[in-house]
Amino acid sequence: MSRLSFPALVSAGLLGAALLALPAHAQEEITIGAVGPLTGPAANTGKDHRQGLELAVKDWNDGKGNYVSQNPPKIKLVMEDTSGKPEVAISAAQRLITRENIKMLIGDTLHSHVTLALMELAPQYNLPILSAEPVSSAIADKVLSDEERYQLYWKGNWNSSGYGTAVHDFYKWAFDNKTLDPGDKKIAFVVEDTDYGIANAEKVGELFKADGWTVTSTETVPPATTDFYPQLSKLREAGPDVVVSVFTVANSGIAFVRQLKEQALDTSHLAIYYPTKPEFLQQAADVAEGTYWAALTFSSELNPEHKAFSDRVQAEYGNPGTYSTAHAYCTMEIALRAIDAAGSTDPKAIAEQIKNTDHECVVGRFKFDKDHAVQSGPDFIPVPVAQIQGGKNQIIWPENVATSKPQ
């Protein structure tokens, strides 16, 4: 055997193995596929998604579902890993389509950019696709650019502008009822240098400007920054009345709040995202008192429904439920109810039923808008603003879900 033919043999074997991978035999039940980041940096969230999806299917098959018809179909769930990469997600989805013969796909469960790739499969394979947590407005823009093409694709979460709208509406409400003083109407931002940070700053800034405010500065820092003295000294000079900070890393937020407190700026501070991390309150309770933040979408402490859900997850999987678990559960419920209501696995019928969804679930009321995205706001999925009072989180806005008044 020559030196060359051995590697050639190895590769031929591999190729053969790939070609021979046999399709799974048909099942009587209806199979729903899901793809999400089960490995990689976001694996933790992916695990929550899997638990939520599985729990919803389990409830459904055990006769504990929220059914539409008298004779709901049995469902099988198969979830595959994307590693958070679009091309891997496509592999995973195509495997589900060809080998598992799925009638619907939940995906991506987390990443917007992966969803932008996956949604192309809906027209190609005539497959209803419902994404779970992705929020990017780009997805809705893409749907609106060709509604015919993306008629089978639906987005199970609200658009990324939801946060900005909530922050603005909260402040407007607080100024109107004299809880806060708008002063010279100057707002400043300190955000991490990611799309998430910048998009939020831009949206909030835009809405405030429409009300006659000026944006004094938008300081961007690399993710995981913990030294904010340069940014804070600029803030001191500009003297804004409202400071909005956005970080996805809890340590950045803790450092920022601590240093802001030391500088004793006379400003109202609203934090986006990082206070959702439990470690924020654990490590910054002493300095974070009075901080406003968005969005307290899931709280076992304040919301008995959330607590009940979290306890169920705890009993089932040994870890508490999170917003991601709850949201995935609700997304799966939408899918199940749509298939049930359609009475068949006809893709168009399922998409039609998703469109008609008006479903009250643990994280809120799911109703889709014209752009195929779930709506946010007090009447739909609330984006509540909280305040840290006495070392604890309290929802202070919107009023219909508030657990306390702003202090």
Binding site for other proteins (CB under 8 A): 1-4, 6-8, 10-12, 14-15, 17-19, 21, 23, 38-40, 80-81, 83, 85-88, 90-92, 94-95, 97-99, 112-113, 116-117, 120-121, 123-125, 136-138, 142, 145, 194-195, 198-199
The CB-of-298 to other proteins minimum distance in angstroms stands at 25
Strand order across the beta sheet in which 385-389 lies: 214-221, 186-192, 242-247, 268-273, 292-294, 385-389, 392-397
Instruction: Output 87 or 206, the one with its CB closest to other proteins.
Output: 87
What's the min distance (Å) between Cβ of 85 and other proteins? Answer: 6
User: What DSSP letter does each residue of 134-163 carry, written as one string?
Assistant: ---HHHHHHHHHTTTTTTTEEESS--THHH
**How near is the Cβ of 120 to other proteins at its closest, in Å?**
5
CB of 1 to other proteins, least distance (A): 5
The dihedral formed by the CA atoms of 261, 264, 267 and 272, expressed in degrees to the nearest 10: -10
Tokens of 324: 């991601």
Q: Which residue, 52 or 197, has its beta carbon nearer to other proteins?
A: 197
Q: What letter does residue 382 receive in the DSSP assignment?
A: -
CA separation, residue 284 to residues 42, 85, 172, 322 (Å): 25, 34, 27, 21
Number of H helices, E strands in the chain: 14, 14
Measured from the CB atom, is 186 or 372 closer to other proteins?
Answer: 372
* Least spacing, CB of residue 113 vs other proteins, in Å: 4
Nearer to other proteins, 49 or 142 (CB): 142
DSSP 8-state assignment for residue 220: E
What are the structure tokens assigned to 288, written together? 């974070």
3 vs 178, which CB is nearer to other proteins? 3
Judged by beta carbon, residue 223 or residue 391, the one nearer other proteins is: 223
